[in-house]
Amino acid sequence: MYNFNYYRPLSLEEAAQVLSAASDGKLMSGGMTLIPTLKQRLANPSDLVDLSEIADLSGIEAKGDTVVIGATTTHAEVADSEVVKSQIPALAALAESIGDPQVRNRGTIGGSIANNDPAADYPAGLLGLGATIKTDRRQIPADDFFTGMFETALEEGEIVTAVSVPIPKKAAYAKFPNPASRYAIVGVMVAQGPAGTRVAVTGAGPGVFRVAKMETALEKNFSANAIEGISVPAKGLNADMHASADYRAHLVGVMARRAVTAAG
- Positions that interact with other proteins (CB under 8 A): 1-6, 8, 31-32, 35-36, 38-39, 48, 50, 52, 76, 99-103, 105-106, 180-182
Q: Considering only CA atoms, which of 225, 223, 219 is closest in space to residue 196?
A: 219
| DSSP conformational letter for 36 | H
Minimum distance, C-beta of residue 62 to other proteins, in the bound complex (Å): 23
Nearest to other proteins of 180, 235 (CB atom): 180
Distance CA 223, CA 5 (A): 53
SS3 content of the chain, % helix, strand, coil (to 5): 35, 25, 40
Distance CA 143, CA 135 (A): 15
Distance CA 208, CA 146 (A): 7
Minimum distance, C-beta of residue 28 to other proteins, in the bound complex (Å): 8
Nearest to other proteins of 8, 170 (CB atom): 8
Nearest to other proteins of 178, 216 (CB atom): 178
Please check whether residue 122 is in contact with residue 165, taking contact to mean a CB–CB distance below 8 angstroms: no
Question: Amino acid letter at 162?
Answer: A
Minimum distance, C-beta of residue 1 to other proteins, in the bound complex (Å): 5
Nearest to other proteins of 31, 59 (CB atom): 31
Minimum distance, C-beta of residue 51 to other proteins, in the bound complex (Å): 11
